[in-house]
Amino acid sequence: MREQYKEVLAGQLLRHEGIELKLYKCPADKWTIGVGRNLEDRGITEEEALYLLRNDIEISINELMLAFPWFSRLDEGRQMALVDLHFNLGLNTLKSFKKTLRLMEAAIEGKVSWSEVSSELLNSKWADQVGHRSQTIANMIEGGTNGLDC
């Protein structure tokens, strides 16, 4: 099918299906999103998942910059650690790690060591729940390295 017809068809499907940006149940009782994408039977491709991931990373970085003015002063390894935390916890739960975040800001100023920040992060129920992920993030915070080095 020629590209021009695919564009016409896309417009027609948008009119018929509508567009939903959040998960919903279609009339056939299937979890669906977008323009009639049946997630139960079709799911998404790996390429689509990676596209969404890249978008979610950008969203996370922007939310962290707004929430924590000091975020941009972190080196890239520690920024990556905070993005991973944000990705895992969501912003509201991350904000509940008040002592860790206060220590992180103090470490930027040189008032406490990064190992103190790392230790405080590991001293949480979350660290017990996520296992190796917590140690990787703690190592990134302590050493300012990326996750590949941990």
pLDDT confidence bin for 94, thresholds 50/70/90: very high
Task: Look at residue 150 and tell me whether its pLDDT is greater than 80.
Answer: no
Task: Look at residue 147 and tell me whether its pLDDT is greater than 70.
Answer: no
Question: If we measure between CA atoms, which residue out of 103, 105, 125 comes closest to residue 115?
Answer: 103
Burial of 108 (0-12, 13-18, 19+ CB in 10 A): middle
Mean pLDDT of the chain: 95
99-108 pLDDT, tens per residue?
A: 999 999 999 9
For tokens 């509940």, name the residue.
96
Question: If we measure between CA atoms, which residue out of 62, 80, 70 comes closest to residue 144?
Answer: 80
Task: Look at residue 22 and tell me whether its pLDDT is greater than 70.
Answer: yes
Task: Look at residue 11 and tell me whether its pLDDT is greater than 70.
Answer: yes
37-72 pLDDT, tens per residue?
A: 999 999 999 999 999 999 999 999 999 999 999 999
Q: How far apart are CA 65 and CA 58, in angstroms?
A: 11
This prediction has a pTM of 0.85
pLDDT at 1: 83
More confident residue, 2 or 47: 47
Q: How far apart are CA 50 and CA 40, in angstroms?
A: 19
For tokens 């405080």, name the residue.
120
Cβ atoms < 10 Å from Cβ of 16: 9
Taking every pair of Cα atoms in the chain, the longest distance, rounded to a whole number of angstroms, is 64
Which residues are paired to 54 by β-bridges? none
Task: Look at residue 144 and tell me whether its pLDDT is greater than 90.
Answer: no
For tokens 């039977």, name the residue.
41
pLDDT confidence bin for 145, thresholds 50/70/90: confident
